[in-house]
Amino acid sequence: MPDDSAIQQAGHAAEFGAVSPDYFEALRIPLKQGRTFTDHDLETTKRVVVVNEAFTRKFSPQKSIIGTRLRDRSGNESEIIGMVGDVRNEALDVPPQPRVYASIFQNSGYSLAMFLRMPADLRTIKETLTQMVQAIDPELPVYSVGKMEELISASIARRRFSLFLMSAFAALALLLATLGIYGVMAFLVNQRVQEFSIRLALGAQARDIVMLALRPGLILISAGSVVGLAASIAVTRLMSALLFGVSASDPLTFTIVPALLGIVALTACLIPARSAARVSPAQTLRS
């Protein structure tokens, strides 16, 4: 595919590229309306182009754009014969831009990039491609051969590393919070051992002692969940730059994460509470 340039329509700009007829099938870009290029779209025929959905949304949102004539900044007129799905060419977190695809048969003289869909491994593909190109012209170089997954991974490597660091710090914070809750609850339970022993001696059940010991922890968990949710909603804008394909205020996330934190905190409270229910009233009162 050639290097991008610009195409003008009514003073507006759109990305431009010249492609072969099999380009859309190779990259699995869906056809939405009209048709794509064929081998019959040669230089001698009328000039035709294909646009993406972003182009249609921007320049012709109310009516079909198929059959519309388009004039570029050089004065050449082309007929729009089809509309295809959007592709994120810049990065996964950058919205698709209006784009015009022309037939490579009608636009020559560009540097080329080839997209291949083959079942063979990368080394075999590179060797085969090099042999094919050198058979045409031994002086033509073949470089930057890689998988599409590698290109996508490289485009999000920085954000993936940032999210990994944030996840690691979040896990560490969760561990410290769990230890802190356990320590506070163990201290509070230890301060009330004599009270729990007297209640057990007077006929209280173990589950009653567990609920008494859990009550301060449940209050802290409830208050922390409310404050944490409010703070999370307030800082979602800071996370928006690192996310794509999911909203920073995703309802599922705001449901699962508090539930998980609540379970962890409840477990940290439950351990000292169960210990309080197993105290020996006679031994505690004697000491």
99 and 14 belong to one structural domain: yes
Nearest of 249, 255, 210, 251 to residue 233 by alpha carbon? 249
Position 172 scores a pLDDT of 92
Provide the pLDDT for residue 237.
67
Contact 7, 100 (CB under 8 A): yes
Q: What is the pLDDT of residue 42?
A: 66
pLDDT given at position 5: 42
Regarding whether 129 and 46 lie in a shared domain, the answer is no
**Cα separation, 59 vs 65, whole angstroms:** 9
Question: What is the extent of the structural domain holding 137?
Answer: 118-155
Residues 204 and 232 in one domain: yes
Asked if 228 and 170 touch (Cβ cutoff 8 Å), the reply is: no
Tally of domains in the chain = 3
3-state DSSP call for residue 157? helix
Of 126, 155, 184, which residue sits at a domain end?
155
174 and 275 both lie in a single domain: yes
pLDDT at 2: 38
- Give the whole-angstrom CA distance, residue 15 versus residue 6: 5
Quick: pLDDT tens for 265-282: 888 778 877 777 776 766
Residues of the chain predicted below pLDDT 70? 1-12, 42-45, 93, 108-111, 120, 237-248, 279, 281-287
Task: Give the dihedral of Cα atoms 74, 80, 81, 87; nearest 10 deg.
Answer: 90
**pTM confidence score:** 0.56
Q: Which of 20, 79, 23, 90 is nearest to 47 (CA)?
A: 79
What are the pLDDT digits (tens) for 75-102?
778 888 899 998 887 777 677 888 888 8
